[in-house]
Amino acid sequence: MRDTDYSLLKLISEKDRKAFALFYERYIKLIYKFVYEALKDQERTDDLIQEFWMKVWVDPSFLRCNQEGSVQSYMLQNLRFRVMNVYRETLKNMISIDQLEETMELDYNNITAGLDERELLVVIREALDKQPYVVRKTFWLRINDWSVEETAKVLAVSKKTVYNKYSESLSVVRSHLKNNYPEMIEDFNSAIKGEKIFSMRTLFF
């Protein structure tokens, strides 16, 4: 169909302005709500959204669609990474990780409550809930593509500790899934490898 996200993005890559306008109208409200509720700052929200739309127009190939031709899940993932970059700058101003966790988890859950991946996210949080602070935080930072160096710095631990704790966290989650939700193991492994787009990769903590 012409008006699927997949079809629209293909037309946008050919510089079809009508397709871009339709795609814009389809997602601008969701995007604005998603970004503004995370940043709580009008200027930074406008700047981030403007940069996102410019990238869509110049080269929409960075967005991926699911089997139904919808780009929503991956688009929110991409926006989450952009928001995270803003928060990384905020970290330099001594905002604590726990403050970020509380703010971003609340906003994310409000907006993405309908996504299929939410169930897997709940199970992962369940698995890590009673783990030590460093194990939990290492998992969520690394799964969000924070480098070993960045993770070590923000958690005030060594790089070796990051490697060890991340490995430990994966073992904990896999064991929990094996014992309680074996049907989710394949999805989890695919998400970790980046073979399947999951919003868990965009959740900050």
Cα–Cα distance for residue pair 56/154, rounded to 1 Å: 32
- HSE of 149, CA atoms in CB hemisphere, 13 A: 0
Domains along the chain with CATH numbers? 1-95 (1.10.1740.10), 116-205 (no CATH)
For residue 40, give both structure tokens: 């709580």
The one-letter code for the residue type at 79 is L
The one-letter code for the residue type at 5 is D
- HSE of 130, CA atoms in CB hemisphere, 13 A: 3
User: What pLDDT does 79 receive?
Assistant: 87
Single pTM value for the model: 0.49
Q: Hey, is 203 helix, strand or coil?
A: coil
Band (104; pLDDT cuts 50, 70, 90): very low
* Mean pLDDT, range 36-58, rounded to an integer: 90
For residue 135, give both structure tokens: 């194990």
DSSP 199: G
Helices (H) and strands (E) in the chain, counts: 10, 0
The one-letter code for the residue type at 182 is P
125-179 confidence digits (pLDDT tens): 889 988 999 999 898 888 877 889 988 988 899 999 999 999 999 999 999 988 8
pLDDT > 90 in the chain, percent = 33
* 119-122 contacts at long range (C-beta below 8 A, 24 or more positions apart): 119/184, 120/184, 120/187, 120/188, 120/191, 120/198, 120/200, 121/199, 121/200, 121/203
Q: How far is CA 2 from the centre of its chain?
A: 28
